[in-house]
Amino acid sequence: MTTSVHTNASALVALQNLNATNDRLADVQNRVNTGLRVQGAKDNASVWAIAQGQRADVGALGAVKMSLDRATSIADVALAAGTTVSDLLNQLKEKVVAAKDNSLNTQSRAALNSDFRAILKAITDTVNNAEFDGGNILNNGTDIRFIANADADSFITLQAKNLSLGGSIITMAATASISTVTLATSVLTQLEASIANTNAALGQIGSQAKQIETHNKFVSLLTDTLEAGIGNLVDADLARESARLQALQVQQQLGAQALSIANQAPQIILSLFRGG
């Protein structure tokens, strides 16, 4: 090897090795700092693209879960209100049966009829207020569809059940009266059918609410699975990176020392020109 003051080959090699070690050390430090093995497309283009696609699905499933949470709330409010209506119908039956008593005087019958009308109004108020975030499936509204998958091409439908007075489920009109035995007899027939219809409708709402709850749990599980899959693709093994970090730090110190030694080599030339 030629001894020269212009070119120090050993120092160049030592510098290249030190730069390579510094680059690897910077990569490891980035992985330790971020916890990610693949931070961007330049780290691993194919893995990053797959992870990004999965992240998009996770975000979409977040919107699905929000929709299903809203469905659950609307169904819960409807069930609470429906149960109240069912209880009020049972109270109505007590009033109607009492109104069929021929021995009642005019004052007592008027009091029963007043209570009856008050309960009818309570039913109307309950149905009209069974609303969550603008959604009400009890007051002659329409079915509500909720997103069921990340592509927004599948839906779960919460079917409307009209519990308004004079509807197909509660057939008694809001103006119904039990002021006479004849009227009470007619109302009782309608009331018994209305009670059966209401309980059946509430059972159907309960089944739909259970379906929504089950699907919501599945969406949560799917989201967790996708997030774990993304982690498997891009997360760094911090235990391994810690070991690499320590090894590279030692290599960096040794490389710096080797470069220092190589830089001192040209000084040997001075000894060749010193006098005896």
pLDDT in tens, 148-175: 999 999 999 999 999 999 999 999 999 9
242 within a domain of the structure (yes/no): no
CATH classification at residue 72: 1.20.1330.10
151 within a domain of the structure (yes/no): yes
Question: Coil, strand, or helix at residue 191?
Answer: helix
Could you give the number of structural domains in the chain? 1
Q: Please determine, for residue 200, whether its predicted confidence score (pLDDT) is greater than 90.
A: yes
Residue 174 contacts residue 120 (beta carbons within 8 Å): yes
| For range 210-234, the mean pLDDT | 93
Distance CA 261, CA 270 (A): 16
Average pLDDT score over the chain: 88
Least confident of 12-16, 137-141, 146-150, 213-217: 12-16
User: Phi and psi (nearest 5°) for 26?
Assistant: -65, -40
pTM beyond 0.85: the answer is no
24 within a domain of the structure (yes/no): no
13 within a domain of the structure (yes/no): no
What number of residues does the chain have?
276
Distance CA 67, CA 156 (A): 10
Q: Cα 43–46–59 angle (5° rounding)?
A: 95
213 within a domain of the structure (yes/no): yes
Q: What is the pLDDT of residue 157?
A: 93
Taking CA atoms, 102 is separated from 97, 158, 180, in Å, by 11, 45, 9
Distance CA 98, CA 239 (A): 79
Q: Please determine, for residue 197, whether its predicted confidence score (pLDDT) is greater than 90.
A: yes
Q: Judging by beta carbons within 10 Å of its beta carbon (0-12, 13-18, 19+), is residue 107 exposed, middle or buried?
A: exposed
Question: Please, what's the b/e burial string for 158-183 (b: 16 or more CB within 10 A of its CB; e: otherwise)?
Answer: bebbbbbbebebbbbeeebebbeeeb
Distance CA 75, CA 212 (A): 9
267 within a domain of the structure (yes/no): no
Q: What is the pLDDT of residue 5?
A: 60
User: Crossing angle, helix 9-34 and helix 238-264, to 10 degrees?
Assistant: 160
Domain that holds residue 64: 60-234
Taking CA atoms, 38 is separated from 21, 32, 57, 58, 185, in Å, by 20, 12, 19, 18, 77
